[in-house]
Chains A and B, each alone.
Chain A
Amino acid sequence: ETGVTQSPTHLIKTRGQQVTLRCSSQSGHNTVSWYQQALGQGPQFIFQYYREEENGRGNFPPRFSGLQFPNYSSELNVNALELDDSALYLCASSGRSEQYFGPGTRLTVT
């Protein structure tokens, strides 16, 4: 059984640029959630995808968007990057209830 994977591991971008982060869900899981974790804080929910549809969103602006593909993998896109977007971005997949997290992508915006 393959766990949740994320790419890239680290990324450095300039303010105003756009970024795409990727997540492959665990085998058999049809739900993917994305979280942002700023330094020293707990993860904050961005949004969740279930069978290719967004079915829940946290307090993040529209420049945070996502996709889920038929194989249940997912992308997180962030447009017009701001310095405060620097964080660890975590993806979690779930089947019925329990969430399993990937290793995260550390994004630095300069």
Chain B
Amino acid sequence: GIQVEQSPPDLILQEGANSTLRCNFSDSVNNLQWFHQNPWGQLINLFYIPSGTKQNGRLSATTVATERYSLLYISSSQTTDSGVYFCAVFPTSGTYKYIFGTGTRLKVLA
């Protein structure tokens, strides 16, 4: 089955720093989403981005489907950005399920 790897696994930043999170997937996908999981477990939608580039405030994302990766950029990080970031892909193989990546745990220090 498809493998979804995220890097780095852990990241510690000072408030105000910028970061790039990466999601690599081993097979073609129809859909890709980025989520932020807060300390209470809620998965918050960041981007639905099967291809191309999107921006939302301090966050932006780029997916290059032909090269099987996606990037999430966080600029001017804030302590509220702390948590775990997941990418999830929907394989083209039609398994009717999202496969989640391994996650990046981000801690932003004040």
Please name all residues of chain A whose beta carbon is closer than 8 Å to the beta carbon of B103 when the two chains form the complex.
41-42
CB pair B43–A98 under 8 Å, yes or no, is: no
Provide the bound-state CA to CA distance between A43 and B101, in Å.
Answer: 9
How far, in whole Å, are A53 and B101 apart by their CA atoms in the complex? 27
Write out the residue numbers on chain B whose beta carbons fall within 8 Å of the beta carbon of A55: 96
B contacts, CB < 8 Å to A: 30-31, 33, 35, 40-43, 45, 48, 86, 88, 90, 95-103
**A97 contacts chain B at the CB level, 8 A cutoff:** yes
Q: Assuming A44-B100, A100-B45, what are 4 further A-B pairs, CB within 8 angstroms?
A: A41-B103, A42-B101, A103-B40, A104-B41
Count of residues in A whose CB is under 8 Å from the partner chain:
23
Complex partner residue of B95 from A56, A97, A103, CB under 8 angstroms = A56
Q: A97-B90, A98-B33 in contact; A33/B42 too (CB < 8 A)?
A: no
> Which A residues are within 8 Å of any B CB, using their own CB?
33, 35, 37, 41-45, 48, 55-56, 58, 88, 90, 92, 97-101, 103-104, 106
Query: Whole-angstrom distance from the CB of B104 to the nearest CB of chain A?
Result: 11
B47 shortest CB reach to chain A, Å: 10
How far is it, in angstroms, between the C-alpha of A99 and the C-alpha of B48 when the chains are bound?
9
Residue contacts A-B, CB under 8 angstroms, 8 given: A35-B100, A37-B41, A41-B103, A45-B97, A58-B97, A92-B43, A97-B31, A101-B43
Q: Across the interface, which residues of B come within 8 angstroms of A44, CB to CB?
A: 100
B45 near A98 with CB under 8 A, answer yes
In the complex, are the beta carbons of B97 and A56 less than 8 A apart?
A: yes
Partner of B41, one of A48, A56, A99, A103: A103
**Taking the nearest CB of chain A, how far is it from the CB of B12, in angstroms?**
17
Chain A residues with CB below 8 A from B90, complex form: 97
